[in-house]
Amino acid sequence: MNRIQSLIARMQDIPGKEQRATQIQDMRAIRDKLQDAAHRADTLREQSSALAAIDAAEFVGSARQGLTKVASRASALKKRYDDGTGFDRKRADQTLTLINEGLEQVSTTVTKGWKGLIEDQTKRYRPLADAATRASLPGAAGLNEAIELLDGWRDDPPRSRQAADDYQTNAARLPTAIANLGLEGRAGRFMVDASNGRAKAKDLQDPDVLAFLELHPAVWAMLKVGL
């Protein structure tokens, strides 16, 4: 029997049947709500631990801070009833509201942070994939597939360590797909810069870049270079 259940049992000895029944009902309601909040907090805590294994998931720190605040409020609420005194339904409901709002904020932090991470990565590589496709580079289809696979995680952040490992396996396909484009050395850097509009005209004087353009003449049509 936990402390709240023990307290409920002691409340049954209080004179006044109607008052006792109301207090017991209120305490049981608070207990059930606390258990629901604890379950949700455990789920978010497990998810945060899983996401922490992903280096780019910087938002996890904020999520963990939010969970710490929620745990502190929950502990304070439980402590007030441990000795059998201090029960106030209105005050308890107010604390539970803060706890649930805190959990919702943590959930939002994770959802938005994860979505932003995926969108940043896909946005970074889509121009290169589009350029590679237009230039008919070998491996262009593979890069597009890798990006679409990664984008599939956008609305479904990992909730376990296994899911996080699966995501990282998928994410590892990106550098492999880029390597399969044959973009190496200065020519490779030029192609990446050109796909994002950051290439410089002086780069066209580089022998490696010129050799690459000669090998893939279709690239000329999509070049974006600055002076």
Of the two residues 10 and 125, the one the predictor is more confident about is 125
One domain for residues 94 and 122: no
One domain for residues 87 and 128: no
Q: Residue 87: left (phi > 0), alpha (psi -120 to 50), or beta?
A: beta
**How confident is the model at residue 227, as a pLDDT?**
44
Say if residue 217's pLDDT is above 60: yes
**Tens-place pLDDT, residues 40-59:** 999 999 999 999 999 778 89
Say if residue 17's pLDDT is above 80: no
Q: Which of 30-34, 98-102, 167-171, 199-203 has the lowest mean pLDDT?
A: 199-203
**How confident is the model at residue 219, as a pLDDT?**
66
One domain for residues 101 and 140: no
Angle between helices 185-195 and 207-215 (to 10 degrees): 70
Domain of 108 in residue numbering reads as: 3-115
Of 70, 95, 115, the position where a domain reaches its end is: 115
One domain for residues 144 and 83: no
Of 115, 142, 164, the position where a domain reaches its end is: 115
**How confident is the model at residue 188, as a pLDDT?**
77
- Residues forming a β-bridge with 225: 199
Which residue type occupies 45? Answer: R
One domain for residues 7 and 77: yes
Say if residue 97's pLDDT is above 90: yes
**Tens-place pLDDT, residues 59-69:** 999 999 999 99
**How confident is the model at residue 83, as a pLDDT?**
56
pTM: 0.74
Say if residue 159's pLDDT is above 70: yes
Q: Which of 33-42, 69-78, 95-104, 195-204 has the lowest mean pLDDT?
A: 195-204
Of the two residues 6 and 156, the one the predictor is more confident about is 156
Q: Is the dihedral of CA 121, 124, 126, 131 positive or negative?
A: negative
Which percentage of the chain shows pLDDT scores above 90? 41
- CB neighbour list of residue 2: distance below 8 Å, 6 or more residues apart: none
Number of domains in the chain: 2
Q: pLDDT tier at 210 (50, 70, 90 boundaries)? A: confident
Of 115, 133, 152, the position where a domain reaches its end is: 115
**How confident is the model at residue 28, as a pLDDT?**
83
One domain for residues 122 and 203: yes
Cβ-in-10-Å burial (0-12, 13-18, 19+) of 162 comes to exposed
Rounded-to-integer distance, Cα 116 and Cα 109, Å: 10
**How confident is the model at residue 225, as a pLDDT?**
54
**How confident is the model at residue 125, as a pLDDT?**
82
One domain for residues 98 and 10: yes
What the block records as the tokens of 221 is 């049509």
**How confident is the model at residue 160, as a pLDDT?**
94
| Burial 10-46, CB ≥16 within 10 A → b, else e | ebeeeeeeeeeeebbebbeebbebbeebeebbeebbe
**How confident is the model at residue 208, as a pLDDT?**
86
Rounded-to-integer distance, Cα 22 and Cα 20, Å: 5
Of the two residues 13 and 163, the one the predictor is more confident about is 163
**How confident is the model at residue 9, as a pLDDT?**
64
Of the two residues 155 and 1, the one the predictor is more confident about is 155
Q: Is the dihedral of CA 195, 201, 206, 207 positive or negative?
A: positive
